[in-house]
Amino acid sequence: MFKQRLFLMMSFLVVCLAVIIGVLDSMKTRFYIFDPKQLHILAQQALIANGHLNITDGKLIRIAQQSPNTIRPVIDYIIADLQKTIDKRYLTDKKEWIFNNAGGAMGAMFII
């Protein structure tokens, strides 16, 4: 009798926990600061404005750069646009880069 009751209680707790996690998971998008689709559009606009991309027949075409290390104007464009639409407390003035080497993949990220 005790084992059945314990099993029933544990099952009830697991179901309750699953429901709570499901509800919290459905609410997480309310707390996002950036919209991924809007950031993608903004990144493309920044690359077009700084001569890294061109639109031909509705397609984005990469333009070869004579100096490939010209990312700073692109980042400045993105930050300037975000400062118009995003609360400034979410943006930093520091020019902070993070370099990453994980699992054989190397990359660098600029922290906005």
Task: Give the gyration radius of the chain's Cα atoms.
Answer: 23
User: What does the pLDDT read at residue 67?
Assistant: 66
Render pLDDT for 21-77 as a digit per residue (tens, 0 to 9): 999 998 887 888 888 899 899 988 888 888 877 777 777 777 776 666 678 888 888
User: What does the pLDDT read at residue 20?
Assistant: 95
Give the torsion sign (CA, 13, 15, 17, 20): negative
On the question of pLDDT at 19 being above 90, the answer is: yes
